[in-house]
Structure 1
Amino acid sequence: MKKPKLGPYLEWHGNQIRVVVRVPPKLKSQFGSKLREVLVTRNPLDADSEKVQVVRRLKAKLKGQKSAEVQQPLIEEAMRWRLAAQREAIANNLTDDQTTVAEALSDTVDRIARLHGPAEARQFAAVASGVATPFRALLDVWFEEGNFTIGYQEDVRRVLGRLEAWCASTATVQSVEAIKVAIAGRFVHENYIRPKANHTTANKDLSCLRSYWEWLGLRYGMTPNPWHRQTVKAPNKRHDVEEGQKRPFTDAEVRTLLRGIKTKRDWQFSLMSALSGLRIDEIGSLRVKDCQDGKITVAKSKTPSGKRTIPAHPALATLIAERTTGKSPNAYFFDDLPEQKPGSKRGRSAPVTQSFSRERVRLGVDERASEDQRQSNVDFHSWRRWFIRQARVALDNGAVGYSAWTIPDVVGHKVEGGKLDGVELPLGLTIGRYAGKASWEAMTACVNAVTLPEGVPHFRVDFDKASMGRRRRRTNAPLQVAAE
């Protein structure tokens, strides 16, 4: 039977498929006329996918590049060899060393030793045979599949770096297989419990490790998960010591802020959040097309429930008109925010977070339970908390047209299993899943029930233009000098 035709860089070698890369004439004395490497698969369609990393690695070898760029494809390929051997052993009831995959692996290891050196070959063999999997071996694959934020990826890399450093200091093998429950427990005790690390930070790190190992178990059968139930308990609370807790602004603080904020952009951000319950990042991501026809559409949010379309508060009409008139639909609503560098985990709204904090402190809106408390009990998110509280207070005072379950739909909280102002919502399954989203009329009633405290304007012109001008001149000064 005639074999199927193969694509570029591929050729048949008996019943196996291998990658072929031609060697430039000036390198033939060193590498021969061609570089060849056998693939795990024997399916032509799968070979077209698997060849990509192999071709990249072989070409990198010809260019003299021996770095993580080369090592990562080697590790990924070794994992494919491991899975192929396991499948063959299960299908034919063989031991690992009896499989034809294992026999072919020996030739591949020899070839890698010639191409990339004995160290790479030893690591390839250890990974392919299931003896060891480096911590970061499949990290990029997980990131690609999970589509995580840059910040979360940095958190995972940071805690893996801490784990690697601890393994090096304790002579523990740095591989996924070496981390058993007892070793994971030692790591937690020596890195978090003994140094009295903040329990929130510790549990954030452990959550990263737990999620990564869970995925390794799901995709590559690496079980059990040694990080399961590894947590750091919060310290016992002392009733004689005050503790800080995030809270909404008071009406007096709302008056102080909306009357006293000097910069127009900070004031507009504040008004938007106070009268819609939007998060600061949601406001920063809005585009002109998202604020049309009396509606605000949140297309980008931190949670699935956060993506929503809500009625625009009537008091925002002037602000919305000013920010949208004459602009392209795809332009940012707050187009005066500086773009962050590619790859930065800072969002577009980061400058407002910083400048609003300075304004808040300048106006005396700050609260800490003690001098040791690092963060204030009030921050920009207190606008969102204030909106939720006002919507609830309006209900308590007899507002009609909406219910307590309408508020989560407006602010982008889930109803099923969700909480409102710290209180768990009843009938989550019945109302959240079966009843569906609140009606447009109910959301309109909810939004309109929130009103600014008496004496607080929803339109201002008395902003500090002089200070804004000075900042612009400092920013543009180097450009003017360069032009001259």
Structure 2
Amino acid sequence: MARKPTADRTHLEFHHGTYRVSVTVPPSLRARLGKTKLKRPLRTDSLIAARAMRHRAVAELKRVIEDARNGANGGAYLREAAELARYTTQATSDEELDELGQAIRERMDDIIGPEVAVGHSEEGPEPVFDGARIAQAEVYREVAWGRATPLGLHHAAYLGKLTVKDRTKADDVRALALLTEWCAQKGYPATLEAITDKRAYHFADDLGELTGGLSHVTQNKYLSRLSGYWKYLVKRTPVERNVFYGVKVEGEATPHEELERAFEDDEVRRLLAGPATQHMKDLMVLGALTGARLDAIVDLKVKDTIDGALTFKAQKKEPAPRDIPIHPGLREVLARRTAGKAPQDDVFPEWPKPRKIGSKRERSFKASNQFTEYRKTVGVNHVVAGRRRALTNFHSFRRWFITKMERAGVPAPLIAAIVGHKREGITLGRYSDGPDMRAARKAIAKISLPPLDAGPIPEVRTLRPGRRTAKAASTE
């Protein structure tokens, strides 16, 4: 019997119960579009329906890629047009304007290129030109006459002014790519002048569909990055106001029982007593006894472990690196990991920086993935249906550390100083240099790991019983 041919799934992916279209972005355009694939949800669980619906979606995504390719190839033209605008907007004579106009028309002809076909009308045969090139030439004309500014004309300069991680800059690139894609879908020119207050809100309304159904939190992240760009433009360009200021996608607040949480003592026991590699066990112990973020731990150098303190690099909105006392339980780990090494050597060489040039991934990326796989093997995997991330992750060590400090009676300002959180009020936040090392050392010494050789550790009752009940019911 002949084998039944498999159904054609070209460009189709089954994701969270429904199909979506996926088109690969050429490597040369990934930086411009901010992603390796363009995706569009089809909102059906039927393969037959998805196969019928995909053609239009694929064509639209390929048009976005082609527009990006034209934009990349025409980048030099747009820079030239922006330079021409300096002259056209300051011309003082008709002769000068005529000469500039002639130059613009000739360059438009260069951009449009040769005819691609011959059409027919009532007056006879007529040349047909590439529509995308015509649109590109029209944008060139508007920019050259000072009537339009390409969306991304100032974006590189904006990114150069930012003091954020490469991953956050990638969000900026992605946000602008989404706005550019949306303009293409709506038939709007991809210019700053085309983005009005109402269109900013319409873009926000369509962002869920555009991103393939990402959460409102992620959508608002992109809107926030665009707002930052427009704020930059208001201060430096003719753009008069930030049209993205206050634009948000509304979404239901996450129920407390579905928020990411601290580890319980028994989960910490299972993680540390389980069959982890030595470097993973050392990583977890540092997380539990410092409350530091994963990337800050993985990035430690030998020179950051001297004089009885750990120096962690600035994270998030911290203005500078910070020192915290070394917990007694970490002395053996750090002595073993730093023995015979030079000051610039890594404490955790098992997780080096990404080798790929231009990678936006943080050094801790692989460590995070390996920890996720490990915690699942020991049954620490609190999941909630419909949520992409588990409620327990490496950051749960940080939450556990802070919880233990609070329960030990450590004052909130001291906890904030130790873990690098912003301290409230102008007095502590701006005028104080922070608590002394002696007070921090006493506070940290109050934290101890749960016994690893005992049986299950009963959960401590908290003031949030609803969370405890839901947590117990949903942990796999």
Task: Report matched runs for 1:298-447 at 5 Å.
Answer: 298-305=312-319, 307-340=321-354, 341-368=356-383, 370-395=384-409, 403-416=411-424, 428-447=425-444
Q: 1:123 to 1:115 in 2, by over 3 A?
A: same
Deviation at 1:124, TM superposition (A): 4.5
SS at match of 1:247: coil
In structure 1, which of residues 215, 238, 244 is the aligned counterpart of residue 258 of structure 2? 244
Q: Tell me the amino acid that sits aligned with residue 446 of structure 2.
A: A
| Structure 2: gaps (5+ residues) | 1-68, 114-132, 455-476
Give TM-score, length-normalised by structure 1: 0.67
Deviation at 1:130, TM superposition (A): 2.5
Output the CA distance in 1 between the equivalents of 2:181 and 2:234: 23
Q: C-alpha offsets along residues 336-367 of structure 1, whole Å, 9 cap, x if unaligned? A: 22431222222222222111111211111122
Q: Tell me the amino acid that sits aligned with residue 146 of structure 1.
A: L
Output the CA distance in 1 between the equivalents of 2:403 and 2:112: 65
Q: C-alpha offsets along residues 296-332 of structure 1, whole Å, 9 cap, x if unaligned? A: 1113533324621111112111111111111121111
**Pairwise CA RMSD of aligned residues?**
3.3
Aligned to 1:217: 234
Task: Report matched runs for 1:67-78 at 5 Å.
Answer: 71-72=74-75, 74-76=77-79, 78=81
Q: Tell me the amino acid that sits aligned with residue 387 of structure 1.
A: F
| Structure 1: gaps (5+ residues) | 1-65, 89-95, 417-427, 458-484
Deviation at 1:154, TM superposition (A): 2.8
Q: 1:79 to 1:444 in 2, by over 3 A?
A: farther
SS at match of 1:161: helix
Q: Tell me the amino acid that sits aligned with residue 407 of structure 1.
A: I
Task: Report matched runs for 1:36-47 at 5 Å.
Answer: none
CA contact (8 A) 1:305 1:413 kept: no
Give TM-score, length-normalised by structure 2: 0.68
CA contact (8 A) 2:108 2:141 kept: no
Are positions 1:230 and 2:230 aligned together?
no
Q: 1:253 to 1:391 in 2, by over 3 A?
A: same
Deviation at 1:286, TM superposition (A): 0.9
In structure 2, which of residues 130, 136, 142 is the aligned counterpart of residue 126 of structure 1? 142
Q: 1:110 to 1:243 in 2, by over 3 A?
A: same
Aligned to 1:199: 216
Output the CA distance in 1 between the equivalents of 2:286 and 2:451: 18
Output the CA distance in 1 between the equivalents of 2:70 and 2:385: 48
Aligned to 2:296: 282
Aligned to 2:9: none
CA contact (8 A) 1:305 1:412 kept: no
Deviation at 1:267, TM superposition (A): 0.8
Q: Tell me the amino acid that sits aligned with residue 170 of structure 1.
A: K
Output the CA distance in 1 between the equivalents of 2:188 and 2:374: 50
Aligned to 2:121: none
Identity over aligned residues, as a percent? 30
Output the CA distance in 1 between the equivalents of 2:112 and 2:386: 55
Q: C-alpha offsets along residues 448-479 of structure 1, whole Å, 9 cap, x if unaligned? A: 2222124479xxxxxxxxxxxxxxxxxxxxxx
Deviation at 1:111, TM superposition (A): 8.1
Output the CA distance in 1 between the equivalents of 2:205 and 2:92: 39
Deviation at 1:434, TM superposition (A): 2.2
Q: 1:77 to 1:254 in 2, by over 3 A?
A: same
Output the CA distance in 2 between the equivalents of 1:104 and 1:308: 61
Deviation at 1:411, TM superposition (A): 0.9
Output the CA distance in 1 between the equivalents of 2:360 and 2:417: 28
Aligned to 1:161: 177
Q: C-alpha offsets along residues 361-398 of structure 1, whole Å, 9 cap, x if unaligned? A: 11111223x43333221110011111111111111xxx
In structure 2, which of residues 303, 310, 331 is the aligned counterpart of residue 296 of structure 1? 310
Aligned to 1:143: 159
